[in-house]
Amino acid sequence: MLTDTPRKLTIIRDRSDKIFRGVVRAGGSTVLVIMVLVGSFLAFRASQALNKAGWSFFTEQAWEPDAGRFGIAAVIVGTILIATVAIVVALPLSLGTALFITEYAPRKLRSFLVSIVDLMAAIPSVVFGLWGFFFLQQSIVPVSRWISQYFGWIPGLGVTGVDPTDPLATTTVYTSSTFIAGIVVGIMVTPIVTSIMREVFSQTPVGEREGALALGATRWAMIRNVVLPFGQGGIIGGTMLGLGRALGETIAVYMIISPVFFIQPNILQNGASSVAALIALRYGESTEMGLSALMAAGLALFTMTLIVNFGASIVVSRSRSGAAS
Amino acid sequence: MNIRRTFIKSTRATLALFLTGIIVSGGSTAALAVDYVPISGAGSSWSANAIDQWRRNVKQYGMSVNYASTGSVDGRNQFKGGTVDYGVSETPYGLTDNGVLDELPARPFVYVPIVAGGTSFMYNITSGGNPITNLRLSGDVVTKMFTGVITKWNDPLIAADNPGLTLPDRAVVPVVRSDGSGSTAQFTLWMATKYKSLWDSYCAKVGRNECGQTSFFPTTAGMVAQPNSQGVSGYVAQKANEGTITYVEYSYALKTGFPVAKILNDAGYYVEPTASNVAVGLLGAKINQDKTSKMYLTQELGGVYNNKDARAYPLSSYSYMIVPTTEQSAFTTAKGATLSAFANYFLCEGQQQAEVLGYSPLPVNLVKVGLEQVAKIPGADPSTINIAKCNNPTFSASGENTLAKNAPMPDPCDKKGAEQCTAGTGGAAATSTGGVVGETTGTDTTGATGTGTTGGMLGGTMGTGPTQCDADTGTCSNIKAVPVATTSLGWAATNWIILSVIIVLVLVVVVPPVLVTYAARKVRSS
């Protein structure tokens, strides 16, 4: 008698399958290759400046490449501060918007709201910059002033060089600040963060939703116990993707801030800095050394953004919603 | 690398386009037009208002001229790198700035003077709720304001220049350029020439030895830095930014509707950078006449700073276009034909508009040599230009500069020490400061604004100091004092209320879920 042996499975792919797999593989690997090329280009061009500056590149605050004194201490801190403000603005805004669109909005309104939010992502950043510079800045100054007056004792919210009892005190100390740039960038990243969260929330299993409702949960209780835990990965991942974009935002920040090259911890005070805005400001005007220094700053930003984005994708893929999608 | 550079440039070009509010629309192209090809340039934002007007004008001939006002330094560098067809700069190549020599480009080039203008001091300051529009400043006071020596508007030195004004106890906030700028270069050259010790000691204070002429303004605490002329003028023009002063070409003050300071010249008169005052001032400029020099046609401004004419504006200067003289990189004969046609246009007809825009037209000698330079561009067709038909306001049969010759003498009230003129300046020409109504200095020929915002004062003599006029009745009265609300320091009752509201808000959000969870757990365990 013959014994049963498992049949060997061979996959025979026809030509169209093979071509499709090849195209998709090529596309996927091209992205990686481009990223590696960008990174190595930056590293190559930055090497001249990095060799000259050495480790002081990470501790020096000034930016005078031609005098040999330059480092990213001030600009990186400035970039992180702007991105932090942006995320503080964007997170509650997008979470609320996404929950409203997926859970509360009437079905007819939903697609309209989705396209409005997507439209926001299509506005060029220079328009946001103009809006921030010509409109938001003068409107936000009283707010900055109020915050600094009552919460100035919290580190980072104080403003030096202004006497609140003096009615003639200049309000320019509150302009061109990390805070204003951060708000504008926050509004810019909101659409991206919102659409990721919305996507994840809408994938919540219907069975679990209905189960919660059947057990007598209110809509809010259902959201809290089913939608939010399920969408946790999407919330974190979306926020981190937004953070990645906020770190690299250029033109809007370039237009609003008054660049300074020392660590400015007071977010409400005039004077801020960001790597991307520094590159936009100095790129056309630099000597070879200056260009190399800018490349080094760009490399630092590139690395930081990569870490943030990889972190985001790891979080997303480990979560229930991410694994499913 | 060029692709990356072009990418960033194009982003900045878009920005510049938006800032100046100019989007050249495609559209009616004359059918008879020569086949022009699009050309692009970058550089000075000082002269951008004129260039933008010109390129809109030549659109009707089918010329598509692009310009990104990204600053003179950027313009020179981009021309050097071959990424643009022409550059525009206030300063030539070959200068040493902050220890770095700006080397000459490898591609052969010539300078073409494009327009004259005055680097003006646009400011935003009010007294008693009314804008001050007739500020006068002497050179050393301006220098001290931009070097942190004078920090308050009520400084006795500013008061000495302005006997008719009571300036508030506000901080002086100098707004400077954050990018590499020809305006900064012109301003710092003037300071380094006339007020060397003040400028040098400031440079030493901020850690730059002997900056001399520099395109990068060294900043210090209390200053605000903004990119581009549009950026600095836009910042000063924000209503809330009181106490700010910036250096920018006169046209930006006209465009934003803000006044400029009248600057004291060597003849003892405070003058405004109007077209005729700039033309008079530039009679003192020395132009490099050595045709073999790499600096041919560039300016030497010492004579302008020390011009003894009562009408001369001391910070007058020319701006230059840098054009290639050979075909190279992407520059073809076809592009040369377009560029030279554009240059011929602005050197001839375009100069008529200079005055309206806030610039000053070139004198005939510079137009002539400018046209000669343009003829060196590959593909140029010089035959089309008849210099007699340009209608340039400076031209005359005798060769004299008509604009400078007919420039009105300054008002007696503009003389140092005398009673101060009350008429407004710059873009705020129609808003006078103080009590006298309807006085015209005759210097404002820009037509930027009509008359009438000051009119309608009924009888009565006003003292000095700020006045307030009722819009309906036209009755004016002096303002003795302006009530202002002061805010108390420290923890007053309101602070406690705010804090408790915040705490209550947090509790409202946090407590119910915690309680529910706790209760649920209890139910489960029992």
Q: For residue B443, what pLDDT is reported? A: 39
Residue A172 and residue B99: Cβ atoms within 8 Å? no
* Residue pair A148/A173 in contact by the 8 Å Cβ criterion: no
User: In Å, how far is A279's CA from the nearest CA of chain B?
Assistant: 9
**Best to test chain B binding among A123, A140, A258 (most B CBs inside 10 Å):** A258
- B397 and B522 fall within a common domain: no
Instruction: Using CB atoms, pick whichever of B8, B171, B489 lies closest to residue A283.
Output: B8
Lowest mean pLDDT among A90-104, B73-87, B399-413: B399-413
Q: What is the pLDDT of residues A231-252, one digit of tens each?
A: 988 898 899 989 999 999 999 9
Q: For residue B433, what pLDDT is reported? A: 77
Supply φ then ψ for residue B26, to 5 degrees. Answer: -65, 165
For residue B215, what is the DSSP state? S
In order, the DSSP letters of B236-256 are HTSTT-TTEEEEEEHHHHHHH
**Best to test chain B binding among A34, A170, A260 (most B CBs inside 10 Å):** A170
Interacting residues of B297 by C-beta distance below 8 A, sequence separation 6+: B110, B111, B112, B113, B287, B288, B320, B366, B369, B370, B373
Q: What percent of chain A shows pLDDT beyond 90?
A: 59
Q: Is the pLDDT reported for residue B129 higher than 90? A: no
Domain membership flag for residue A56: no
Instruction: Using CB atoms, pick whichever of A126, A171, A287 lies closest to residue B240.
Output: A171
Domain membership flag for residue B502: yes
| Bridging pattern class, strands B136-137 and B173-177 | unpaired
Residues from chain A that touch B231, judged by Cβ atoms under 8 A, are 133, 255
Nearest residue in chain A measured CA to CA from B126? A168
Q: What percent of chain B shows pLDDT beyond 90?
A: 48
Q: Is the pLDDT reported for residue A20 higher than 60? A: yes
| Confidence category of residue B484, pLDDT binned at 50, 70, 90 | low
Supply φ then ψ for residue B225, to 5 degrees. Answer: -115, 130
CA distance B519 to B303: 88
- Domain around A115: 64-324
Q: Is the pLDDT reported for residue A6 higher than 90? A: no
- B338 and B443 fall within a common domain: yes
Q: Is the pLDDT reported for residue B1 higher than 80? A: no
Residue B168 and residue A168: Cβ atoms within 8 Å? yes
Residues B72-99 have a mean pLDDT of: 91
* Residue pair B217/B174 in contact by the 8 Å Cβ criterion: no
Q: Is the dihedral of CA A260, B137, B409, B303 positive or negative?
A: negative
User: In Å, how far is A302's CA from the nearest CA of chain B?
Assistant: 15
Domain membership flag for residue A7: no
Q: For residue B453, what pLDDT is reported? A: 39
- CATH code (residue B244): 3.40.190.10
**Best to test chain B binding among A95, A149, A157, A168 (most B CBs inside 10 Å):** A168
Instruction: Using CB atoms, pick whichever of A138, A166, A270 lies closest to residue B239.
Output: A138
Residues B224-236 have a mean pLDDT of: 92
Q: Is the pLDDT reported for residue B409 higher than 60? A: yes
Domain count, chain B: 3
Structural Rg of chain B based on CA atoms = 27
Q: Which residues of A touch B (CB under 8 A)?
A: 64, 66-67, 124, 126-127, 129-130, 133-134, 137-138, 141, 149-150, 161, 164-172, 175-176, 224, 250-251, 254-255, 258-260, 270, 279-281, 283-287
Residues from chain B that touch A251, judged by Cβ atoms under 8 A, are 11-12, 15
Q: What is the pLDDT of residues B131-164, one digit of tens each?
A: 899 999 999 999 999 999 999 999 999 999 999 8
pLDDT top residue among B185 and B445: B185
User: In Å, how far is A5's CA from the nearest CA of chain B?
Assistant: 54
Q: For residue B490, what pLDDT is reported? A: 56
Q: Name the amino acid, one letter, at B310.
A: A
Residues A98-124 have a mean pLDDT of: 92
User: In Å, how far is A109's CA from the nearest CA of chain B?
Assistant: 28
Domain membership flag for residue B396: yes
- Residue A54's nearest CA partner among A66, A81, A41, A72 is A72
Domain membership flag for residue B8: no
Structure tokens at B259: 């006044």
User: In Å, how far is B351's CA from the nearest CA of chain A?
Assistant: 30
User: In Å, how far is A287's CA from the nearest CA of chain B?
Assistant: 8
Domain membership flag for residue A20: no
| Bridging pattern class, strands B39-43 and B86-89 | parallel
- B417 and B479 fall within a common domain: no
Q: Is the pLDDT reported for residue B31 higher than 60? A: no
**Best to test chain A binding among B126, B175, B241 (most A CBs inside 10 Å):** B241
SS3 (DSSP) at B328: strand
Residues B412-436 have a mean pLDDT of: 80
Nearest residue in chain B measured CA to CA from A152? B490
| Confidence category of residue B455, pLDDT binned at 50, 70, 90 | very low
> Of the ranges B30-39, B57-66, B467-476, which is most confident?
B57-66
Domain membership flag for residue A309: yes
The gap from C-alpha B273 to its chain's centroid, in whole angstroms, comes to 11
Instruction: Using CB atoms, pick whichever of A130, A169, A176 lies closest to residue B18.
Output: A130
Q: Is the pLDDT reported for residue B418 higher than 80? A: no
Domain count, chain A: 1
- B340 and B221 fall within a common domain: yes
For residue A9, what is the DSSP state? P
Instruction: Using CB atoms, pick whichever of A64, A170, A250 lies closest to residue B173.
Output: A170
Instruction: Using CB atoms, pick whichever of B100, B169, B489 lies closest to residue A287.
Output: B100
CA distance B469 to A23: 76
Residues from chain B that touch A64, judged by Cβ atoms under 8 A, are 98
The gap from C-alpha A66 to its chain's centroid, in whole angstroms, comes to 32
Instruction: Using CB atoms, pick whichever of B179, B241, B498 lies closest to residue A150.
Output: B498
- B432 and B470 fall within a common domain: no
| Confidence category of residue A187, pLDDT binned at 50, 70, 90 | very high
Nearest residue in chain A measured CA to CA from B16? A126
Q: What is the pLDDT of residues A296-325, one digit of tens each?
A: 999 999 999 999 888 888 887 887 765 544
**Best to test chain B binding among A139, A172, A257, A294 (most B CBs inside 10 Å):** A172
Residues A68-90 have a mean pLDDT of: 93
Interacting residues of B434 by C-beta distance below 8 A, sequence separation 6+: B134, B164, B165, B420, B422, B462, B464, B465, B466, B467
| Bridging pattern class, strands B86-89 and B316-324 | antiparallel
- CATH code (residue A149): 1.10.3720.10
Domain membership flag for residue B9: no
Q: Is the pLDDT reported for residue B437 higher than 50? A: no
Residues from chain B that touch A159, judged by Cβ atoms under 8 A, are none
- Domain around B468: 450-483
CA distances from A128 to A81, A136, B20 (A): 19, 10, 16
**Average pLDDT of chain A to the nearest whole number:** 90
Residues A64-69 have a mean pLDDT of: 85
Domain membership flag for residue B3: no
- B476 and B389 fall within a common domain: no
Burial class of residue B79 in the structure, from the number of CB atoms within 10 Å of its CB (0-12 exposed, 13-18 middle, 19+ buried): buried
- B409 and B510 fall within a common domain: no
Residues B362-385 have a mean pLDDT of: 87
| Confidence category of residue B187, pLDDT binned at 50, 70, 90 | very high
Residues from chain A that touch B42, judged by Cβ atoms under 8 A, are 284
Q: Is the pLDDT reported for residue B458 higher than 90? A: no
Q: For residue B474, what pLDDT is reported? A: 59
User: In Å, how far is B404's CA from the nearest CA of chain A?
Assistant: 36
CA distance A85 to B517: 32
- B387 and B501 fall within a common domain: no
- B263 and B380 fall within a common domain: yes
pLDDT top residue among B494 and B274: B274
- B135 and B202 fall within a common domain: yes
Domain membership flag for residue A249: yes
Instruction: Using CB atoms, pick whichever of B19, B78, B173 lies closest to residue A172.
Output: B173
CA distance B337 to A38: 39
Q: Is the pLDDT reported for residue B72 higher than 80? A: yes
Three-point CA angle B325, B329, B334, nearest 5°: 60
Q: For residue B435, what pLDDT is reported? A: 46
Q: For residue B400, what pLDDT is reported? A: 81
User: In Å, how far is B493's CA from the nearest CA of chain A?
Assistant: 12
| Confidence category of residue A8, pLDDT binned at 50, 70, 90 | confident
Q: For residue A325, what pLDDT is reported? A: 46
Instruction: Using CB atoms, pick whichever of A133, A169, A224 lies closest to residue B234.
Output: A133
Q: For residue A316, what pLDDT is reported? A: 78
pTM of the model: 0.81
Interacting residues of B446 by C-beta distance below 8 A, sequence separation 6+: B254, B274, B355, B356, B358, B429
Instruction: Using CB atoms, pick whichever of A170, A224, A287 lies closest to residue B243.
Output: A170
User: In Å, how far is A4's CA from the nearest CA of chain B?
Assistant: 54
- B437 and B463 fall within a common domain: no
Residues from chain A that touch B498, judged by Cβ atoms under 8 A, are 150
Domain membership flag for residue A116: yes
Q: What percent of chain B shows pLDDT beyond 70?
A: 82
For residue B285, what is the DSSP state? P
Instruction: Using CB atoms, pick whichever of A66, A260, A281 lies closest to residue B98.
Output: A66
Domain's final residue, options B394, B427, B449: B449
Domain membership flag for residue A6: no
- Could you report the predicted ipTM of this complex, rounded to two decimals? 0.82
How many of the other CB atoms lie within 10 Å of CB of B409? 12
Residues from chain A that touch B78, judged by Cβ atoms under 8 A, are 284
- B396 and B476 fall within a common domain: no
CA distances from B275 to B118, B189, B229, B358 (A): 8, 21, 19, 7
Q: For residue B261, what pLDDT is reported? A: 94
Domain membership flag for residue B434: yes
Q: For residue A162, what pLDDT is reported? A: 76
User: In Å, how far is A34's CA from the nearest CA of chain B?
Assistant: 14
Residue A133 and residue B484: Cβ atoms within 8 Å? no
| Confidence category of residue B434, pLDDT binned at 50, 70, 90 | low
pLDDT top residue among A252 and B418: A252
User: In Å, how far is B377's CA from the nearest CA of chain A?
Assistant: 25
pLDDT top residue among B180 and B418: B180
Place of tokens 């669109």: A101
Nearest residue in chain A measured CA to CA from B487? A165
| Bridging pattern class, strands A69-70 and A63-64 | antiparallel
Domain membership flag for residue A28: no
Q: For residue A294, what pLDDT is reported? A: 94
**Average pLDDT of chain B to the nearest whole number:** 82
CA distance A224 to A206: 15
Lowest mean pLDDT among A4-13, A198-207, B3-12: B3-12
Residues from chain B that touch A137, judged by Cβ atoms under 8 A, are 238
pLDDT top residue among B108 and B26: B108
Residues from chain B that touch A224, judged by Cβ atoms under 8 A, are 513
Residue B98 and residue A67: Cβ atoms within 8 Å? yes
Residue A284 and residue B226: Cβ atoms within 8 Å? no
